[in-house]
Structure 1
Amino acid sequence: MSSRSIHEKLVALTRQMTEAAEAMDFETATALRNQIAAIRGEGPLKPGDPDTVTVSQPPPGAMGLGTQVPVRQPPKGWVKPKKPDLMTNISKPRGKRS
């Protein structure tokens, strides 16, 4: 295909996508958007792309390296508390019974 025919096809698909979106036919609009992306060489959009919406929470344990979930950082100046020495009596008396 020549670049002119590709451009004409993209313009036609864009117009059809806009009409489908205005008619609230979002499934057709999404299919047309994916066709446009494939013609442009971008490939179909994946769930991690910024233009798509994900509704679910990440699975448990999926936080950290290799995921898109940011790791929370402690506030500036925060110091991790010392662990108690388990060899000492760390329990407090709760009062006396009469």
Structure 2
Amino acid sequence: MSARTNHERLVALEKQMEDAAEAMDFEKAAALRNEILRVKGEGQGEDGEPLVGQPPPGAMGLGTQIPVRQPPKGWVKPKKPDFLTGRKPKG
């Protein structure tokens, strides 16, 4: 998605959240708030862990504020190919 599309979606979600709060439908407003946070990358996953976390200062270089993304549960790093023999790894 482009930044413009994301911005338009966030504006629409915020308007829906405000309308739901005015209508006293707080459950819908809370669900929309969570969706807004998810789109912004500030929400929490199913396990309560943040979707994107900030590394400790200096972990990714001095002065950087690059968010660290965690791989999904059960993800296994693929094996590297053997460039000397040109064969694919077994398994």
Using the size of structure 2 for normalisation, the TM-score is 0.48
Report which of the two has the higher share of strand. 2
Larger Rg: 1
